[in-house]
Amino acid sequence: MRKKTYSVQGRAWLVSAIVFALTAFLTYPLLFHFSTQFPSDLGDSSKYLWNLWWMKRAVFVENTNPFFTTFLYYPQGTGLVFDSFVPLWGILSLPFQFLFGLITTYNILVFLSFLLSFWGMFLLVRRLTDSSLAATFGGVFYSFSPYVFAHLRGHFNLLHVWIFPWLLYALFHFRKQPSLKRSALVSLVFLFSLFTDYYYAFYAIGITALFLAYVYFSTSGRILKAVLLYGALIVIMYAVFLYPLFLAYIREQQSLASLRITEFEQYSADLLSYFVPFEQNPLLGRFSKAYTRRFTAGTTEGTIYVGYAALFLAFVGLFRYRDKARIKTFLVLLIVLSFLLSLGPTLTILGKDYPISLPFSWFTSHETLSHLRVSSRFGVLSLFGIYLLSGFGIAYLSKKTKRTPLFVLVFFIWFMESASFPIPLERPRMSVFYDSIVSDPEHFAILALPIEFWSDDVRSVYGQTVHGKPILGGIVARPPLRWIEEYRVSPFLGNVLTFQEGDQTFLASSIRREEREELRQSLIDLNIKYILIYKEYAGWRDLHKYTDYVLGTRKVFEDDILVAYQVY
């Protein structure tokens, strides 16, 4: 028995090593820059490094609640409950941050997400088909899908597609023999989803509800009674986990940025997005760009490509694999519902909107559900169901033939149409002036110009992970509107925001000599010691001129990245 156990463990380690090697290959050239660069298309990636940094800072330096920070939107601060904060991964990152630093830690967690996704799908498919070959294909198709690589460029929270196979595995485990322990296991996976991404947590609720309904209609007798009893316990535990989130929502909803109907339409999946290859595919990308550039959701949110090899295998699994008829019905329902929801409030084909109302339109009129504004993300559930069915397809083929070349060909076709390398990497450009800020023991804030609320284009938020001082503004999923309005009434900040919002003459026309001291005092009142003007911003020269006029000869530093002014 011990020898068999060691053999199983040895195979598991071997498979993990192979998955690691495949991850390194498909994320090329990341492994060669593991400590200095991270996956990024210069979008939101830096925000997730800040998330990891803030968890460490909050726990070990500030001794404060990590779900609220005054290091962004200083001095009032902002809540992070409805931000893409990924607290589970912030906690897991702590030992790695102490050992390896921030960028290496981030890359380790990226690799770990691929490994978890593979093993979740592998175990689920093997449980349902009793075929290790089918499980391997299902795990590879799912964990290395174009959807994952599209979000690798800027959405660390959405890499964690492992949640769904592990949740469904726990649910099937629960169905076999309902118990308190197995109910707790299902709820634990849900808790992990809640501490990873609230979109995925909502999807986990949907999967659980659909699964419990499936069990109710496909089970009878004593098992059904046990399912109802312990299923109710799962619902109660979900509610307990959600209750603090609900209280936070009630407390913060008035300050969260509201959504326009155009945002729902913008982030809808195009009907053809399931069938057009990812534009970063080295073979097909050049041909697909003409189509993907017309997707309103953009390159990242608009990528939900299934792959024709996986789609063919899914149809084989659906119509030729004779077992698991009820499970296949469950998967078809999951695929169809999530597919329809991913299309948004109205149908869009190649960027053209058709006035056909779709199920997601109900979300837009519901105050709470409207925060799930990016409908295209529902597509991950369709992919999950399709790749699971493709595992059934491989299981069917493996029973009909043992010809290795056939399965090599299937893998080759999948690889050629789904590979997405080389992946874009970012090496942060940090000014040496940050060293001066770090060495200053005073408590003060930094005004980074431009003031950013929706993005970190000039990397001022990432820069905070180096200099460690509070900043005004900052990228969060739902900016606190009441604090932005307070910035507007501050003389200096109000002028800057008016300029950033399009009045290109406002700064020059607003300057009056007698106002200089008042403007400077408004900065001192906010405890702003330094103003950093980032040259990557197109209007930096105008901001430079305005700041120079207000503060006179207080410029203390300039390099090719920024200009620094000292306020006091």
Q: Do residues 326 and 409 share a domain?
A: yes
Higher pLDDT, 519 or 3: 519
pLDDT in tens, 355-373: 999 999 998 888 778 778 8
Rounded distance, CA 350 to CA 120, Å? 34
Residue 25 lies in a domain: yes
What spatial distance separates the first Cα and last Cα of the chain, rounded to whole Å? Answer: 73
pLDDT of residue 153: 94
pLDDT of amino acid 113: 98
- Domain containing residue 489: 433-566
The residue among 394, 418, 442 that closes a domain is 418
- The distance of Cα 357 from the centroid of its chain, to the nearest Å, equals 28
Residue 248's pLDDT is 81
Averaged pLDDT for residues 232-257? 83
pLDDT at 474: 94
Last residue of a domain, one of 418, 452, 469: 418
Asked whether residue 545 is domain-assigned, the answer is yes
State how far the Cα of 487 lies from the Cα of 497, in Å rounded to an integer.
8
The answer to whether residue 427 is domain-embedded is no
Q: What is the DSSP string of 364-389?
A: HTSTTGGG---GGGGHHHHHHHHHHH
In this structure, the answer to whether residues 413 and 556 fall within a common structural domain is: no
Please tell me whether residues 440 and 515 are part of one structural domain. Answer: yes
What is the reported pLDDT for 510?
A: 64
Least confident of 64-68, 132-136, 172-176, 506-510: 506-510
Q: Please give the pLDDT value at position 264.
A: 78
Is pLDDT of 72 > 80?
Answer: yes
Task: Give pLDDT tens digits for 534-550.
Answer: 999 999 999 998 898 88
Q: Are residues 378 and 519 in the same domain?
A: no
425 lies in some domain: no
At residue 504, does pLDDT exceed 90? no
pLDDT of 348 reads 95
DSSP string, 504-534: TTHHHHH--GGGHHHHHHHHHHTTEEEEEEE
Answer yes or no: do 392 and 440 share one domain.
Answer: no
* Cis peptide leading into residue 470 (ω within 30°): no
- 192 plus 341 within the same structural domain: yes
Q: For residue 396, what pLDDT is reported?
A: 97
> Hey, CA dihedral for 291, 161, 235, 86, is it positive or negative?
negative
Q: What is the pLDDT of residue 260?
A: 53
Q: Could you tell me if 446 and 311 lie in one domain?
A: no
What proportion of the chain, given as a percentage, has pLDDT over 90? 77
159 occurs within a structural domain: yes
* pLDDT, tens digit (0-9, with 9 covering 90-100), for 257-289: 554 555 778 899 999 999 999 999 999 999 999
Residue count of the chain, please give it. Answer: 568
**Is residue 4 scored above 70 in pLDDT?**
no
How far CA 248 is from CA of 79, 119, 245, 519, 522, in Å, comes to 9, 34, 5, 36, 32
Q: Would you state the pLDDT for residue 506?
A: 66
Residue for token pair 């001066």 = 436
The mean pLDDT of the chain is: 92
3-state secondary structure of 471: strand
CB proximity list for 415: less than 8 A, separation 6 or greater: none
If one counts the domains in the chain, the total is 2
pLDDT exceeds 70 at position 2: no
Q: Give the mean model confidence (pLDDT) for residues 73-93.
A: 94
* Sheet (strand 445-449) strand order: 445-449, 528-534, 562-566, 555-558
How far is the C-alpha of 88 from the C-alpha of 160, rounded, in Å?
11
Is-contact 291 350, C-beta < 8 A?
A: yes
Lowest pLDDT segment from 97-101, 256-260, 386-390: 256-260
The pLDDT value given to residue 511: 67
Q: How many CA atoms lie within 13 A of 103 on its CB side?
A: 17
392 shares its domain with 480: no
CA gap 457, 454 in Å, rounded:
9
Q: Which residue has the tokens 């874009």?
A: 424
Same domain, yes or no: 129 and 52: yes
**Is residue 214 in a domain?**
yes
CA distance 345 to 269: 10
User: Are 441 and 358 members of one domain?
Assistant: no
Domain membership of residue 117 (yes or no) is yes
Q: Tell whether 36 is covered by a domain.
A: yes
* Pair (208, 67) in one structural domain: yes
Please tell me whether residues 444 and 379 are part of one structural domain. Answer: no
Statement: residue 525 has pLDDT above 70: yes
Mean pLDDT calculated for residue range 449-466: 92
- Highest-scoring range by mean pLDDT, 251-255, 326-330, 473-477: 326-330
What global pTM score does this model have?
0.94
In the predicted structure, residue 381 carries a pLDDT above the cut 80 = yes
- CA 403 – CA 490 distance, rounded (Å): 73
pLDDT for the residue numbered 509 = 64
> For 186-215, what is each residue's pLDDT tens digit?
999 999 999 999 999 999 999 999 999 999
Place of tokens 């921030």: 102
